[in-house]
Amino acid sequence: MSAPFEIMVGRIETLALDAVVNAANRQLAPGSGVDGALRQAAGPRLTEATKRIPPILTGEAVITPGFDAPMKFIIHTAAPIWSDEGPQGAKVAGLAKCYMSSIKMAASRGFESIAFPCLGTGVYAWPRGFACGIAIAACEQALEQAPKLKRIVFCCFTEDDAKIYRDGLGGRLR
């Protein structure tokens, strides 16, 4: 089976999929970037819902409805902060875990479609190409346990990011 990967350039809060992934923080506190955009689209019920959950572990995934936003559910995960102390291997494993636990959550709910932003590459300052390689490898690995997932959309904010993903995915695009 060919991998169900797609790349798009756009705003993740506009996507009417089963789930989109939020680049959250461990406290699920209102943030900027993807988190701010999703909160704006989903409305105040999202902030109410996320008050009851934290803290989450780095790489853990938790789920809420999409509320007023077009996606059915939002999966919230917190990437490691690139500049934090500690071995790089642990950070790489943490970022990979964000993708794997999000896909595992989607699979456990029987979702067919999910979109990821370029986790960690905004405020958390991961190098874009490096983070992209981790994202693709982690999704490929997690997909083995998610046979129902038909669409994995890498929602890039810029054309530059989309090019990095196109180069990274090569012939594995749908």
**Other beta carbons less than 10 A from residue 60's beta carbon:** 18
Task: Kindly state whether residue 66 participates in binding ligand ADP, applying the rule CB under 6 A.
Answer: no
Tell me the closest approach of the beta carbon of residue 58 to ligand ADP, in angstroms: 11
φ/ψ of 14, rounded to 5, equals -95, 0
Task: Kindly state whether residue 124 participates in binding ligand ADP, applying the rule CB under 6 A.
Answer: yes
Name the one range near ligand ADP by CB under 6 A: 63-71, 111-119, 132-140, 141-149: 111-119
Task: Kindly state whether residue 122 participates in binding ligand ADP, applying the rule CB under 6 A.
Answer: yes
Cα three-residue angle 127-104-69, rounded to 5 degrees: 75
Tell me the closest approach of the beta carbon of residue 171 to ligand ADP, in angstroms: 24
Q: 3-state class of 6 per DSSP?
A: strand
Tell me the closest approach of the beta carbon of residue 95 to ligand ADP, in angstroms: 9
Task: Kindly state whether residue 120 participates in binding ligand ADP, applying the rule CB under 6 A.
Answer: yes
Whether the Cβ atoms of residue 154 and residue 5 lie closer than 8 Å to each other: yes
Which of 112, 122, 114, 104 is closest to 154 using CA atoms? 114
Q: Which of 18, 35, 68, 167 is catalytic?
A: 35
Specify whether 84 is catalytic: no
Q: Which residue is nearest to ligand ADP (CB)?
A: 122
Tell me the closest approach of the beta carbon of residue 164 to ligand ADP, in angstroms: 10
Find the binder of ligand ADP among 33, 54, 65, 168 (CB under 6 A): 33
Q: Which ranges of 60-150 would DSSP assign to H, the alpha helix?
A: 88-108, 128-143
One-letter amino acid of 129: G
Element (H, E) at 65: strand 61-65
Find the binder of ligand ADP among 21, 71, 119, 169 (CB under 6 A): 119
Both structure tokens of 14: 């506009």
Return residues touching ligand ADP (CB under 6 A).
Answer: 11-13, 23, 33-35, 37, 79, 117-124, 155, 157
Active-site residue numbers? 35
